[in-house]
Amino acid sequence: MPDLSQPPYSHFLAFFRETLGPILLIVIVTVVAIRAARVFVHGIVKALMDREASEGTAQELSAVEIRKRMQTLDSLGANVLQALIVVIGGIEVLGVLNLQVGPAIAGLGIVGVAVGFGAQSLVKDYLNGALILIENQFSRGDVVRIAGVTGTVEDFSLRRTTLRDLDGTVHVVPNGEIAVSSNLTRVWARINLDVTVAYGTDIDRAIEVVDDVGRTLAGDADWTQRFVEAPRVERIESLGEYGVTLKILGTVRAQDRWTAAGELRKRLLAAFRDNGIEIPRPQRVVLSREAERAVPTGVSDAMGAAPGDSTAGLTSATAAPADDEPT
């Protein structure tokens, strides 16, 4: 049996007790903390997504979409937390090795401040992207209005959102720039039309025609699944310069808001024509004064006006013949 109190065993025991043992302990604690961090982050993300799925806007998401979002948030949160744990563990190991960690920490602090100022917009993009995922503000295929751009969401990541507008132009919007996001295709939407009829129209008759068109459209076999509430006249919106404006409201599935409104306009035009209801339009009167065209030169000379005198020409051409003038 070797005597552990004698060299070289005593040196090894001292090294293990003072250096190797603490380092192994730090490594073990770091590994456990890394595993625990992933479980911790997963639990938080799952709780948030479960709440959104049961109470919030994530109710309409499929199980596959929810799982993808959870994986993205898990990866982001776990990587950030694990990187922090590794840095702390590395600093502790350096302390055990009797290396000066003060300058290293100060250096990391300076680097962190510099990176923070330089990459604050990037950090803002990722944090805002995570909140968009958690709150389910929008997803692929939705039509949204963000950062002054309206279009269909073609791609989404934690850093940026890609939209394609009606003209086919692709817009890439950093998530940090999204202060307000308006989702135009979330569950249901309003048909909101203002229709003006001419003064003198029987308003009660016009309202009856509009309501009848709305009921017929909502009851149509091709459209009944798209409507939640039939369009109808809500109120007289205003008495304008050209006529009386009727406010028409209805409720449809959000993705059908544009096609349903277009079909309603088409049917209203036909119904107004059949019922003799006039939609007013502005009238323009154009006045043209062209002397040379209005009065021939010979006539102008005969009337005693100098050629090119537009005033005299117009006056002579339009004056009524006197009693003593031959007719």
For the chain, the average pLDDT equals 80
CATH says 138-183 is which class? mainly beta
Domain boundaries of the chain, sorted by first residue: 13-118, 138-183, 188-274, 286-316
Radius of gyration of the chain (CA): 39
What's the average model confidence in pLDDT over 65-78?
76
Q: Which of 34-38, 85-89, 265-269, 282-286 has the highest mean pLDDT?
A: 265-269
The enclosing H or E element of 149 equals strand 149-156
CB contact at 8 A, 24 and 32: no
Tokens of 325: 């003038």
pLDDT tens-digit series, residues 39-50: 888 888 788 777
Report the alpha-carbon distance of residue 5 to residue 46 in Å, rounded. 54
What's the average model confidence in pLDDT over 173-197?
92
Tokens of 29: 């604690």
Instruction: Map residue 55 onto helix, strand or coil.
Output: helix
More confident residue, 9 or 236: 236
- pLDDT for position 299: 46
- pLDDT for position 64: 64
- pLDDT for position 152: 93
pLDDT at residue 169 tops 90: yes
Q: pLDDT-based confidence at 312, cuts 50/70/90?
A: very low
CB contact at 8 A, 163 and 152: yes
pLDDT at residue 296 tops 70: no
DSSP label at residue 313: H
Beta bridge partners of residue 146, listed in sequence order: 149, 181
- pLDDT for position 1: 52
More confident residue, 307 or 138: 138
**13-118 has which CATH code?**
1.10.287
Report the alpha-carbon distance of residue 74 to residue 186 in Å, rounded. 26
To which residue do tokens 């205003």 refer?
Answer: 238
Share of the chain above pLDDT 70, in %: 76
CB atoms within 10 A of CB 252: 24
Q: pLDDT-based confidence at 2, cuts 50/70/90?
A: low
Q: Which of 50-59, 102-111, 200-209, 288-297 has the highest mean pLDDT?
A: 200-209
> Who contacts 299 (Cβ-Cβ below 8 Å, separation ≥6)?
313, 316, 317
CB atoms within 10 A of CB 63: 8
Q: Which of 69-83, 254-268, 277-291, 300-314 has the highest mean pLDDT?
A: 254-268
**188-274 has which CATH code?**
3.30.70.100
Q: Which of 7-11, 154-158, 162-166, 260-264 has the lowest mean pLDDT?
A: 7-11
